[in-house]
Structure 1
Amino acid sequence: MTHWQADRPFNELPPPPDAGSLETRRVLKSTIGARTALAQLDQAGRSMPNPAVLINTIPLLEAQASSEIENIVTTTDELFRQVNVADTATDPATRETLRYRTALRVGSELVQQRGLTASAAEKICSVVQGHEVTIRSLPGTRIANPSTRKVIYSPPEGHDLIRDKLAEWEAFVHTDDGMDPLVRMAASHYQFEAIHPFADGNGRTGRILNVLMLVEAGLLHQPLLYLSRYLIGTKQDYYRLLLDVTTKGRWEEWITYILTGIERTSLATTRQIAAIQDLQASFATQARSASKGGADAELLAVLFEQPYTRIAVVMDRCGISRPTATRWLTELVNAGLIRDVKAGRERLFVNTQFLSLLMHGSWD
C-alpha cells in the first residue's frame, strides 16, 4: 500500500490494480447479477417504441439525484416544468441540475465521436459548472468531513501531475486486458474521484462518466442507468468506501458496492419502464374514449416524452392548427387525464399520472 497522509497531497496515487487483483471470487459473483440486470434494462429500453420517453426523462431524474448528492436540491416537478419554458429557471439549484442533464447529452455525443477521454471529462465538467473548466493549478485543495471539518483526503497537486494522472485514468479506461467493464467502471470511478482534477464538479462529472463508460462498452445503448439514487440512499457508505480504497486498499468492498448498485438500479429501472408502458396503454384507451380527435398517436407520444407540454409543441408535432391543438388538449383536461397550469404567459399541460410515476414509481 502506497504511503499517504490525509493532509498531504496524494501525489503518489497509483493507477488501479489489474484484473487479476480486482476480480476476486466475490467480485466476479457480484458481476454476474449486475451484468444480467443491466442486460435486462438495456433490452427494456430498446423495446420502447418511442425511446424519447426514456431519453427525455430518466437522465433528468439522474441529474436531480446526482445534484442532490452535492446538496443541490430541486424538485422533480420544478425540473420538468422548467424544461418546457425554454430552460428559464430562476432557482439556482434548478439551473444547475438542468446543466447536468445537458452535460450528460454533450458527453454522450463526445463519446460517440471520440471516445471517453480526459478532454471529454473537461468538457463535461465545464457544462456542469456553466463556465469553462480546466485542470486544477492552485494548491491547497482538501476534502474534509462536513461535520467535524477534519481533513480526510488531499488529492494530487500540480497541473502537470494531475494531467499525467488523468492520462493514467484514460489509459486504464481503455486497457484491453479482459477485465469486466463493470469492474473497470467501478475502479475508474474511484480513480477519477481520487485525482479530483477540477476545482469543483468532480462528483457530478464522475457520475456522468460512469454511465458513459457503459455506453462506450456496448452494455447500454442509451444512458439509462439511474445510479445516483442508489448513491444518495447509501451516501455514507459511498464516501467511506471511497476512502477505504485509499487508506486500506479495500478494492473488493468498493467494487462489490458499485456492482450491487448497478444490479439494484437496473432492476428498479426495468420495473419502471414496464410501469410506463402499462400507463401508456391505459392512457391511450381512456383518451380514445374521452376525445373526438385528441387520441391522435403523435399527441399521445408527445404527452409521454415529457410530463409537461405546450400547445406550440403539439401543433408542430401533430401538424395541426392552434385551435385544433387547444381543443384536443382541452378534451383530455375535461376527461381528467391531464391538467393545465399557468407558467408566466405559458399555458402548460401536465400528464399528472406520468409525472407521479416518475416521482414515486418503481425506483426502489
Structure 2
Amino acid sequence: MAFDRNTPYNELPNLPPPGFIESPEILKQLAKAARYLGELNGLCISLPDPQILINTIVLQESKDSSAIENIVTTQDELYKAATEDDTNNLGAKEVLNYKEALYVGMKRLQDQQNLLLTNTMVEIVQTIKQNNAGIRNVPGTSLKNAINGEVVYTPPCCEDVIREKLSALEQFINDPEFSSFDPLIKMAFIQYQFESIHPFPDGNGRAGRILNALYLVQQGLLIQPVLYLSSYIVKHKTEYYQLLRSITEKENWQDWVMYMLTALIETTQLTAKKMKAMLSLKSNYEKQLKEVLGTSFSYDLLQLMFTLPYLKIDLLVKKEIAHRQTASTWLKKLSDADIVRPQKIGRTTYYINFRLMEILSSDS
C-alpha cells in the first residue's frame, strides 16, 4: 500500500529496514564516528568525579534538544533556574525536566537489567511533560507544516497498533541477535522509528533523543549519557525533518544514516573539547581558590562551581557547604579576585562562573 501522508501510517515497517546496505561512504563515516565516540568515552572514564562536569553537559543537551521543539531559554535563565527549588520560567522548567528525564532513564536502565523498555519511554515522557500521559489512544494526530498547515505525516493509530510497533522496536533495541548492524547505524534506525511511531501526544522528539543517549550507554559505548547530539540538529534542523520525510516517502535511509553519523562526529568532538576546557579551568581555579581562600579552601565549593555555574549564598547554605556568613565571605573574595562575577537579579545576587559559561556557550 502506497504511503499517504493524510492516513495513519499503520503499515510502518519494523526494523531493520529491508534491503539496507552500508555504502562505502557510510562505512568510512562509521569508522570515524566510532573513533571519536571512543575518545569521548575514554575522557568520561578518566574523570575523577564525572558528575561534576556531566551535569553541565547534560543541561546543554537538554537546552538544545528542547530548542528543536521551539522551547527556548537562554543560558542565563537556565543556569539561574537550576539553582532554584522552583522557577516561573516555563522554558527553563521544561529544559530542567528534560535533564531529569534523562537521569530517570539511566536509573531505569540499571534497574531493568540493561533493557530499554516501553514503560521506560512512558516514564521519560511523563517526566518531560510533568503529567500522566500514556500511549496515544485517540485518533486525529497528524504532523503539520507550521507555515501553511499542510499535513506532512500522520503517525500510526491507535494504542494497540502503537504498542505493537513499540514492542517490535524493543526487540530491535534489546536483542543483539536480531540484527547484525553496527550499534551506531542501529541508533540512526531507532531515532527514525521512534519519531515515526510518534507514540505520545507530545514530547516525542525529546524522548527519542534521550533514547539515543541511553542506547549508547546500554551498548557500552558511553559510560555516561553525554551525547550532545542536539547541538548539531539545532544547526541543521530543516535537513533533519526533510531526511525523516525522505525515509517515509522514498525509503532514503542512506542520507539519514550519513546525517546521524556526521552529527555524532561533530558533537563528540565538540563535547570532548568542552570537557577538556572545563577540566583545565577547574584545575586553574583550584589553585586560585587555594590562594584566595587560604586555609578555608573548600573542595566542595570548587565542585559546586562546575556543577552549577550560578552560585548564591543560599545555595551554599542549602548544600551544607558553608554557613551564611562564611558563604558570603567566600563569594565576596572570589568576586574581588574576578573568579566569579556578581549579578543582582531582583533581590538575589548571583555569583557567576563566567569563564565556565563562556565554554558552555561556545559552539566551536
One-letter identity of the residue aligned with 2:286: A
Instruction: Find out whether 1:201 has 2:199 as its counterpart.
Output: no
Corresponding residue of 1:16: 15
Partners of 1:321 and 1:118 lie apart in 2 by: 45
Query: How far apart, in 1, do the equivalents of 2:96 and 2:210 lie?
Result: 13
- The share of aligned pairs that are identical, in percent, is 37
SS of residue in 2 equivalent to 1:292: helix
Q: Take 2:344 and 2:194, find their aligned partners in 1: how far apart are those partners?
A: 43
- Aligned-residue offset at 1:25: 3.0
Instruction: Report deviation, 1:305.
Output: 1.6
Aligned: 1:68 with 2:61? no
Structure 2 residue matching 1:152: 3-state secondary structure: strand
Task: Check 1:317–1:68 CA distance in 2 against 1; reply closer, same or farther (3 A cut).
Answer: closer
When the two structures are aligned, how many residues end up with a matched partner? 360
Q: CA deviation at 1:347?
A: 4.3
Change (3 A) 1:320 1:12: closer
Q: Structure 1 residue 18: deviation in Å?
A: 5.7
2:313 to 288, 311, 314: 311
Kept in 2, the 8 Å contact 1:287–1:294? The answer is no
Other-structure match for 1:83: 82
- For the aligned residue pairs, the C-alpha RMSD in angstroms reads 1.9
Write out aligned runs for 1:234-245 (5 A): 234-245=236-247
Quote the Cα distance in structure 1 between the aligned partners of 2:8 and 2:335: 60
**Letter aligned with residue 174 of structure 1:** N
Q: CA deviation at 1:341?
A: 3.6
Gap regions ≥5 residues in structure 2? none
Residue of 243, 255, 258 corresponding to 2:257 = 255
Which sits farther off after the overlay, 171-180 or 190-199?
Answer: 171-180
Q: 1:327 to 1:199 in 2, by over 3 A?
A: same
In the superposition, relative to structure 1, how do residues 293 and 355 fare at CA in structure 2: closer, same or farther (>3 Å)? farther
Residues 19 and 179, structure 1, Cα contact 8 Å, conserved in 2: no
Displacement of 1:317 after TM fit? 5.9
Q: Distance in 2 between matches of 1:330 and 1:345?
A: 17
Please report how far the alpha carbon of residue 58 of structure 1 lies from its aligned counterpart in structure 2 after TM superposition. 1.0
Q: Quick one: distance in 1 between partners of 2:318 and 2:244?
A: 48
For 1:128, the equivalent position in structure 2 comes to 128
Q: Separation in 2 of the partners of 1:345 and 1:22?
A: 61
Q: Matched residues in 2 for 1:65 and 1:299: separation?
A: 28
Which letter does structure 2 place at the counterpart of 1:261?
A
SS of 2:180's equivalent? coil
CA shift for structure 1 position 175? 3.0
> What is the CA–CA distance in structure 2 between the aligned matches of 1:236 and 1:291, rounded to whole Å?
50
SS at match of 2:342: strand
Report the Cα offset of residue 7 of structure 1: 0.8
Per-residue CA deviations over 1:11-62 (Å, capped at 9, x if unaligned) read 1111123697243333222110111111111111222222122221111111
Q: How does 1:291-302 map to 2 (within 5 A)?
A: 291-293=293-295, 295-302=297-304
Instruction: Give secondary structure in 2 for the equivalent of 1:105.
Output: helix
**Structure-2 residue corresponding to 1:140:** 140
List per-residue Cα deviations over 1:121-151 (Å, max 9, x = no partner). Answer: 1110111111011111111111122222211
Cα distance 1:18–1:242, how it changes in 2: closer, same or farther (>3 A)? closer
1:203 Cα deviation after fit: 0.6
* Aligned ranges 1:52-201 → 2 under 5 Å: 52-86=51-85, 88-114=86-112, 115-176=115-176, 177-201=179-203
Q: Is the partner of 2:20 in helix, strand or coil?
A: helix
Q: Which runs of 5+ in 1 are unaligned?
A: none
| TM-score (normalizing by structure 2) | 0.93
SS of 1:349 mapped into structure 2: strand
For 1:224, the equivalent position in structure 2 comes to 226
What TM-score do you get using the length of structure 1 for normalisation? 0.93
CA contact (8 A) 1:22 1:251 kept: no
